[in-house]
Structure 1
Amino acid sequence: MGTERRARAAAGAFFFVQGLCFAGLLAQVPTLQRGLGISDAELTLVLLVVPVVAGAGSVLAGHLAPRTGSAWLLRVAGPLVAVAVLTTAFAPSALVLYPVVAVVGLLLGVVDATMNMQGVAVQRRYGRSLLNSFHGCWSVGGILGALAAVLAHGLGWSLAGGLALVAVVGVAVDLAAAPFLDARADGPTSSPAGPVPVVAAVPVPWRPVLLVGTAVAIVYLADSAVSSWSTKYVADVLAAADAVAPLGLAAYLGCQLVGRLAADTVVDRVGPRRTVVVGGTVGAAGLLLVAVAPTPSVAVLGFGATGLGLSVVVPLAFSVAGALDRTGVAVARVNVFNYVGFVLGAAVVGGVAELADLRWAFAVPAVLALGVVALAPAFRPATSDAHRGEVAGTPPR
């Protein structure tokens, strides 16, 4: 296996572990809540700590990566995420849980940013679209993380036992993959005169970051809506049986995975702008179908279309960021919009559901998803430059 292939496999492994740990923890949240005896309101505050602090972690990664390299940061922070997830099981009270989940959030932010920096570097070396497949690895990890919680409950394991399963697998995979990360992706390198940056520091333009970042925020707002409310919507509004209600989320995650695994080929054939136009349109149509669904089966179909369509946007946003500079700063900045969307999703969708009903709560992200289509032109210039020039070693324009 060549150096590029090893770097690709290593980056994919870290994406996989990140999804495994994140979903593994979220799937155990009800158990954690019961064990500490905290209210729904307090649990909401605890969960909001994660994306807020993760934003700070992403900013920190953007500051450190040009100096230390994203590979070094990822080698350190990746296994620590798994360990931090496990420590939540040992928090004796909600008061102690707050700083614990803050550490989890900080590390998640660092890893989210640096693994995407690595993904961009590998994509640059291959000269074709790969980031969707890396995010597909995250989706596979997320599905297995949720299944790990199901397995732990089925075996009668404690919260610590269930999270230990995820943590042990996560640490083992990260440590095995760490030596093969692309150490040349960014950060300092050596010369006779001492350490110098790989690429001379240049200002990162904010306009393209804000445009693709806004699209990322919209996608994660919709993702937050589906992840948090889909099961309740199918069960309460559409009067589905308990066995049917989770199928909406399952369809969303399954189609999201399919979309990510197939999207790189589509991007190489039709380009990123058209891919985003089609993806945003399908995603918006899916959410609208959910909002007007007369039966559970129609809603499940809508959730699936949402996952399939919107799955392509975030990886392509990181491709744009990676073409703006080679230090990782732009990638870290775009990554912050991930957490902005998550927080806004919890606030907007939850607020609309409280003031009106869940149908309107899904209609709002359906309208906002059309904004992704409007922002599609922002995905073309930088990504196209990356494909034309970066493989040959020329800096992106």
Structure 2
Amino acid sequence: MIYSRLTVLKKIPANELLALRRNTSVMISTTKHRFYLSLFFFMSGLSFSTWASRIPTIKAAFDFNEAELGSILLALPIGSLLGLPLSGWLVSKYNSRVPLTVGYGLNAFSLAFIGFAHNTFTLVVAVVLFAFTTRIFNISVNTQALTLQKQFEKKIVGSFHGYWSIGGIAGILLSTLLLGLDVSIHVHFAVVAVVMLVVTLYSYQFLLKGDRAETGNKLILSKPDPYIFYLGMVVFLCAICEGGMFDWSGIYFQEIIKVEIFTYGYLIFMTFMATSRFLSDLIVARFGMAKTYIMSALCIIFGIGLAVVFPLFWPAMIGFSLVGFGTAAIIPMSYALAGASKKYSAGMAISIIATYSITGMLLGPPLIGYLAHAFNLRVSFVIFALCGVLLIPITQMFFKHQKLSDKTD
């Protein structure tokens, strides 16, 4: 068998054999890039869910009411806004793996900082730093994902975001376990931070190199580009839903559903978000992006309606699962469409779209907190259903504009 294979190889011309070896090397390299980039998405989800799943712990430790907690959560999008111009500049100035690695390493430090915060001031500083570094990392890792997508015929962007959700599930499960064991928040966050640092230092060597775009790296100050504007509004509405569910699902199950293990709601939300993201590429291929946006919006509307109208354990679990399934595909689809912008490079387009996302994060969680304090938490969750309703006409306007611009070109 070995002899026959060697005989076949001898019959291949030297130049073709060299090309075959190069192609095999590229294939292995691309596979490694995808694996370690997926690992970063996974760890990012783990980091964020570690923070979000412990928000009820922080609320109880500092004795915050809903409005006060809403104000603390306001620090998250403010930190993201501060990191936005720097992240866009770094990705346009350097290869994205540099800000990706540095941003994620600092993100680990800031997560541990949150766990050791003992007063409101240090907590706010830690949360701002956490959001700031998350923003730098997110712009970089999504730039890497869009660059790697060009080396694959099938769509893979949705799967990356799926690994983020899987990381989120892992973080929630770990939090649930440690809560049951009565492990303190500072030990919990410190352990996760150490794991993040180890992964970052080892995985840096396997990230894409030389992905800086030569054109489209400057922000053009002019009338808003309709292509980017519509996508931005879609991401804005989705960010209100995602941010609100991340930060308030645990509180909802603790105070409205009245369950002792308050991570159930967040866990089911993230589980179905992960499922949807792994299926999103297949769903988009089968139905197209326009119909997938509509199906996503309907899942959000009916899911929130079920959880609000029937504030019981199983209706809420089913409702939160529908919301997770609905929100999951929206941002990956929007980022993929943004990467096809004719006006901006992929990194700059994502950075602009991220501005809308951060604004949604800015308004969503604090708005839920203030409405919950003024009325009640059930009423405040209706905001998510309203966002789902608005998603339908805005996505339709985007695809109409896309068709018109294609005809013009």
TM-score by length of 1: 0.83
The one-character-per-residue Cα deviations of 1:255-291 (angstroms, maximum 9, x if unpaired) are 1111011111122233222211221222222222223
Equivalent in 293, 298, 311 of residue 281 of structure 1: 298
CA contact (8 A) 1:20 1:142 kept: yes
> SS at the partner of 1:165?
helix
The answer to whether structure 1 residue 299 and structure 2 residue 316 are counterparts is yes
- How many Å separate the matches in 1 of 2:350 and 2:388? 22
> Which residue of 321, 339, 342 corresponds with 2:358?
339
The 1-side partners of 2:101 and 2:252 are apart by: 40
Residues 197-346 of structure 1: matches in 2 within 5 Å? 197=214, 203=220, 206-233=225-252, 237=256, 240-242=257-259, 246-293=263-310, 295-324=312-341, 325-346=344-365
Between the two proteins, the alignment pairs up a number of residues equal to: 374
> Measured at CA, do residues 93 and 334 of structure 1 come closer, stay the same or move farther in structure 2, by a change above 3 Å?
same
- Structure 2 counterpart of 1:2, which letter? I
| Consecutive unaligned residues in structure 1, runs of 5 or more | 188-196, 389-396
Amino acid in structure 1 at the alignment position of 2:96? S
What is the aligned counterpart of 1:109 among 117, 135, 140?
135
> Paired residue for 1:85?
111
How far apart in 2 are the matches of 1:362 and 1:145? 24
User: What SS does structure 2 have at the residue aligned with 1:2?
Assistant: helix
Cα distance change of structure 1 residues 358 and 83 upon mapping to structure 2, 3 Å threshold: closer
Q: Are the counterparts in 2 of residues 18 and 141 from structure 1 also a CA contact under 8 Å?
A: yes
Report Cα offsets for 1:124-156 as digits up to 9, x if no partner: 221432222111111111122223333334445
Range with bigger deviation, 47-56 or 93-102: 93-102
Counterpart-to-counterpart distance in 2, 1:354 and 1:33? 14
Partner of 1:394: none
| Correspondence list, 1:25-44, <5 A | 25-32=51-58, 37=62, 39-40=64-65, 42-44=68-70
Q: Is the 8 A contact 1:80 1:107 kept in 2?
A: yes
What RMSD, in angstroms, separates the aligned Cα atoms of the two structures?
A: 3.0
Q: In the superposition, relative to structure 1, how do residues 55 and 125 fare at CA in structure 2: closer, same or farther (>3 Å)?
A: farther
- So what's the TM-score if we normalise by structure 2? 0.81
Larger radius of gyration: 2
Give the aligned partner of residue 67 of structure 1: 93
Call closer, same or farther: CA 1:327–1:252 in 2, change over 3 Å: closer
* 8 Å Cα contact 1:319-1:383 kept in structure 2: no
Moved more, 211-220 or 264-273: 264-273
Equivalent position of 2:385 in the other structure: 366
Cα distance change of structure 1 residues 234 and 38 upon mapping to structure 2, 3 Å threshold: closer
Counterpart residue identity of residue 309, structure 1: G
Aligned equivalent of 1:393: none
Moved more, 333-342 or 223-232: 223-232
Q: 1:381 to 1:58 in 2, by over 3 A?
A: farther
Answer yes or no: is the 8 Å Cα contact 1:217–1:339 preserved in 2: yes
Query: Greater CA deviation, 228-237 or 269-278?
Result: 228-237
Q: Distance in 1 between matches of 2:307 and 2:141?
A: 33
3-state secondary structure, aligned to 1:126: coil
1:125 and 2:155 matched: no
Give 1:294 shift. 6.5
The separation in 1 between residues aligned to 2:311 and 2:178, in whole angstroms, is: 36
Contact kept in structure 2, 1:46 and 1:98, CA below 8 Å = yes
Look up the equivalent residue of 2:141 and give its one-letter code.
M
Give 5+ residue unaligned stretches, structure 2. Answer: 1-26
Letter in 1 for 2:176: V
